[in-house]
Each structure stands twice: as structure tokens, then as C-alpha cells.
Amino acid sequence: MKKPEILQSSLVVPATVTPRESLSLSDHDLLGAHLHNCTIYLFKNTQGAKDFFSVEVLKSALAKALVLFYPLAGRYVVGPDGRGQIDCNAEGVPFVVAQLDCRSDDIQLEPISTEIRELFIPQEPQSLSLLQMLQVTYLKCGSVVLGTFSHHILVDGKSAAHFFQTWSMIARGDLKSIVQPSFDKTPLCARSPPKISYDFPAYTTDQSNIKGSPNACVLSLFKLSQEQIRHLKIRCSNGTSTYVSTFCAVSALLWKCYCIAQGLAPGTKSCLYFGANMRNRIHTPIPAYFGNASIRSSVISEVSKITSSPIGDVADTVKAVIDGLTEEYFRSLIDYMKVMSDKKMSVRPKDVSESDLMIRSIIGLSLCDVDFGWGAPQLFSWERPTRSRVAYIQNELGNGAGIKVVLSLDPSTMKRFEKVFYEELLFADE
């Protein structure tokens, strides 16, 4: 497919004067991946609106949103002490307008390939210092693709949703619903003296097993309807009234299917990695905090217990770890990060081993349903096509929809997984 034609490329700066300051980054911020997370939205002009996705409307709303989210208009720099920080200099957010000579039906956006994804995201040579990049691409059928790049050093999934929702609210004139972001990192600071009460196997100072090259992988899309989710959660409750979250039920299903499909030896230890949001789990919740407040957690079990046990037992194993993510756990982790800040600690792993699976979830986040005034998107993609043994979970678009899973595996394992998922587990009687 041909590359899009760039119609204009500019920097959108805050609409009014914003604080000129250096925003410090926490040990938690600096520990995260120094890369950009990508989201791709497809909006269809179903009503034939003449001003559909007006560049003027989008830019004006963005400039106003950047007054509230002013660090995004700055740059990531290394300070005099060698520590990363945000220079809030209001230099602006790159905003690219392009057109592509094809129709939306000609493009496969779910699951998305690396080649297709790169058509719709800004190609900036200085991207490592840029905190937010945006591209609006008009298709010849009248549809529009919005591609975004958000730097993980400052923005996690919850923060990205907060920014995009605010931008879209301003664009459609819904100013009453805007929630002011907070950049105060005090609630997430380490204690003095530090108190470490837990082990954190999802974090490591051992760099020897961290790979830098991507695994060969293919992406497959799996959809679970509301009724299938309801049935799965009943199975996961083991016939009791115990509440099982959608995340817990789907994660247990994927983990069990993966271990069977991978053909792992019964005595092998398998680890399920996943993220958890700290904002509402601490004593004084910080729901409007803008920054990184998601941590990596993990659950480990023998493969034999995962593959031979009822799905409810696997869900119990996952649920027990999630229930243990208390405020003291988070405080201990923050203290641990502070104590180990000079030890080159990193999130484990960049590429998980063949016995492990990583879950990335945005269930419940308002990241995929932004409405700029021309209706909600018809498609949304956020997976990273180069990462293997990763499952990306999100709510399906639309009211009453179910769950969408994009799974990244090597080709041979994927074929076995699809068989296990559809024929042996999802509709199995236990």
C-alpha cells in the first residue's frame, strides 16, 4: 500500500500561557519503557457531514486541552543530575494531516500489522523527546483514521484516556464534564525510612535474560460476547456467589489455553504478567492523577495445575494475587523502587519466555470510545505487532458489546491455541 500524502505538518501549542517549569519524574516513571504507545482510531462519516473531522476544530480543541495537560506540549530531557525530566516549554505537539488513496474497507485495522500501523502515525526523527504526536488521515471514502503516539515516560493507559477524552469533550463543546488533571506525585513518593514487606518478581536487576530483539509472531483476533463472558464468569466462580471480574475470568481462560497450546511440561513453572492501576487502591485515591500509576504484577503456577484444573481454580489463583494488591503492597513497591534506583532495575521481561504470558488490558478505560462530535469510532487498535506472547484485552465498541482479545504468538502455537480456545475450553462442561 502506498504511503499517505502529507498535506500539512505543524506544532499545536497551548492556547494560553502555561507554567514554564521542569517536571520531575518518579522512580516509577523512569522504570517504565522509554517508548511511545500507539492508538489507532477509525471514524466513518456515516451521516455525510461536510465538516467531518475538521482540522480547525481539532486543532483549536487540542490547543485548549494542552492548557490543562501542559506537560504534553513540552519535551523529555535529561537534567543536569543525569535524571530524566519533563521540560514544560510549551513547544507544542506535532500534528500531521494526511490523505491516503484507499477506502476504509481496504485496510485491516484489527488486528493491525506493523506496516499498516506506520501509515497512520507521525514519523518524527526526534520522537524520543516528544511526549505526544498526532496524525489525522483522510481516506477517499470519507472516513478518517486518527493515529496517536504517547510517550510512556509520562503517560499510562488511564492518563491517555483522560487526555483524549478531554480533547474530544472540548471539540464537541462538553466543557462541564472535564476533570482537571493532577501532576502532584506526592501520593506516590517513597516513605522515609522505606519499608519493604514483599517480594516483586515482576521486577529485576538482572539484565542478562532481557532480550532486545522482537520475537517472530502473528496476531489473531478473538471476540467474546456478553453472554459468553457471563457464562465464563459463572464457571470461574465454581458454583458459588463469589464475584469474579471480567479481567480475572478472561485472563484465566487465556492462561490455561496458552499453557495447553504451548505443550509445556507438567512440572514447568508458568508466569502470567499483568498490570494494575494504583490510583484507586491507595488510602487517598488519586483518580485524576496524570502520569504513570500502573505497576507490573505476576502470578506463578505449575503448568500441571493450570492445564488439569477447572477454569475456576485457575481464576482463583489469579484473583488471589489481585486481591493482595493492597496499599501496603504498593507502598512497599514504591519504597523498593527508591532503594533500588541505582541498581539498573527494570520491568521483567521485555520479551517473556515460552512458558509465560503477558496480559495488557484496558478493560473499563474510556480510551477506545472518544467522540469528537462526529460519533464514536468504528474500530480501535492499540496492540504492538512486534511483541510475542502478549494478549491485548479491551471492551468491544458499542453498548452491550463483549470483550475483544488480540493475541500475539508464534505461528505454530497460534494454530494450536485457536483450536483449544474455541473447541476445548470456552464451551467445555466442567
Q: CATH no. for residue 298?
A: 3.30.559.10
Q: pLDDT at position 345, please?
A: 67
Q: Does residue 88 sit in the same domain as residue 233?
A: no
Q: Does residue 328 sit in the same domain as residue 253?
A: yes
In a domain, 32, yes or no: yes
pLDDT classification of 168: cutoffs 50, 70, 90: very high
Q: Does residue 123 sit in the same domain as residue 216?
A: no
Residues 6+ away with beta carbon under 8 Å from 21: 88
Q: Does residue 177 sit in the same domain as residue 216?
A: no
* Distance between CA atoms of residues 243 and 234, nearest Å: 9
Q: pLDDT at position 46, please?
A: 84
**pLDDT tops 70 at residue 215:** no
Q: Does residue 343 sit in the same domain as residue 412?
A: yes
In a domain, 407, yes or no: yes
- What's 340's DSSP letter? T
Average pLDDT over all residues of the chain: 90
* CA-CA-CA-CA torsion sign (360, 365, 366, 369): positive
How confident is the model over 99-121, as pLDDT tens digits?
999 999 999 888 999 999 999 99
DSSP for 101-155? SS-GGG---SSPPHHHHTTSS---TTGGGBSEEEEEEEETTS-EEEEEEEETTT-
Tell me which residue range forms the domain holding 10.
5-188
Higher pLDDT among residues 178 and 344, named by residue: 178
Q: pLDDT at position 18, please?
A: 97
Q: Three-class SS of residue 253?
A: helix
Q: Does residue 62 sit in the same domain as residue 115?
A: yes
Instruction: Name the residue among 148, 183, 147 with its Cα closest to residue 292.
Output: 183
**pLDDT tops 70 at residue 211:** no
Q: Does residue 263 sit in the same domain as residue 149?
A: no
How confident is the model over 45-78, as pLDDT tens digits?
988 888 999 999 999 999 999 999 999 999 999 9
In a domain, 366, yes or no: yes
Q: Does residue 267 sit in the same domain as residue 363?
A: yes
In a domain, 80, yes or no: yes
- Please give the tally of structural domains in the chain: 2
Residues belonging to the active site:
152, 371
* Distance between CA atoms of residues 28 and 313, nearest Å: 33
pLDDT classification of 426: cutoffs 50, 70, 90: low
In a domain, 248, yes or no: yes
Q: Does residue 90 sit in the same domain as residue 121?
A: yes
In a domain, 196, yes or no: no
* Distance between CA atoms of residues 180 and 45, nearest Å: 31
R_g (Cα) of the chain, nearest Å: 22
How confident is the model over 359-376, as pLDDT tens digits?
999 998 999 889 999 999
In a domain, 203, yes or no: no
Q: What is the pTM of this model?
A: 0.93
In a domain, 200, yes or no: no
How confident is the model over 252-265, as pLDDT tens digits?
999 999 999 999 99
Instruction: Name the residue among 342, 85, 168, 359 with its Cα closest to residue 245.
Output: 359
Neighbours of 313 (CB within 10 A): 17
Q: Does residue 115 sit in the same domain as residue 241?
A: no
Q: pLDDT at position 349, please?
A: 54
Mean pLDDT on 341-353: 66
Q: Tell me how far the alpha carbon of residue 210 is from its chain's centroid.
A: 21
**pLDDT tops 90 at residue 313:** yes
Neighbours of 298 (CB within 10 A): 16
* Distance between CA atoms of residues 140 and 2, nearest Å: 13
Instruction: Name the residue among 248, 390, 258, 271 with its Cα closest to residue 318.
Output: 248
Contact 226, 404 (CB under 8 A): no
* Distance between CA atoms of residues 383 and 391, nearest Å: 9
Q: Does residue 322 sit in the same domain as residue 290?
A: yes
How confident is the model over 90-102, as pLDDT tens digits?
999 999 999 999 9
* Distance between CA atoms of residues 149 and 126, nearest Å: 13
- Exposed, middle or buried: residue 97 (CB in 10 Å: 0-12, 13-18, 19+)? buried
Q: Does residue 169 sit in the same domain as residue 268?
A: no
